[in-house]
Amino acid sequence: MTDEPDLQGQSSYRQDGAPAAIVDLQEFRQSRDPLPVTFHRRELDAILWIYGRMVGDGEWRDYAIDHLKEKAVFSVFKRSGEYPLYRIEKNPKLAAKQGAFSVVGADGRILKRGHELKQVLKVFDKALKLVD
């Protein structure tokens, strides 16, 4: 018994006769493009619950989900083809600072930011209004 790998029936040459290249697995993993940031199922459930409520009220009509390298974005539209009314963003790089989740208005202002998505989504809770 030896420490040498068991390569019976395998040669260290490719089919075209050139020597096979040995690749460091750790280097290979680091060279690949990173996976995009995504919403987890519970996060998406919370967002879609708010979305369904607002669609029922007639305020929102369309949405888009973008999974980018640095953040995930759920955009809400009044009509498709317009600028989004709101963007619900998840940016893991900000998790240790201000919080990974934020709600951004149409004008680019951050309406609410925090570590807990459910707390951030409370910005969409309606305040009671006085009716004359």
The token duo for 5 is 């790998």
In 58-109, where do the E strands start and end?
62-67, 72-77, 86-90, 101-105
User: What was the pLDDT predicted at 82?
Assistant: 78
CB atoms within 10 A of CB 86: 20
10 Å Cβ neighbour count for 115?
14
End-to-end Cα spacing for the chain: 91
Q: What is the pLDDT of residue 131?
A: 64
Output the pLDDT for position 12. 61
Q: Which residues of the chain have pLDDT under 50?
A: 128
pLDDT value at position 27?
A: 76
Q: What is the mean pLDDT of the chain?
A: 84
Q: What is the pLDDT of residue 3?
A: 61
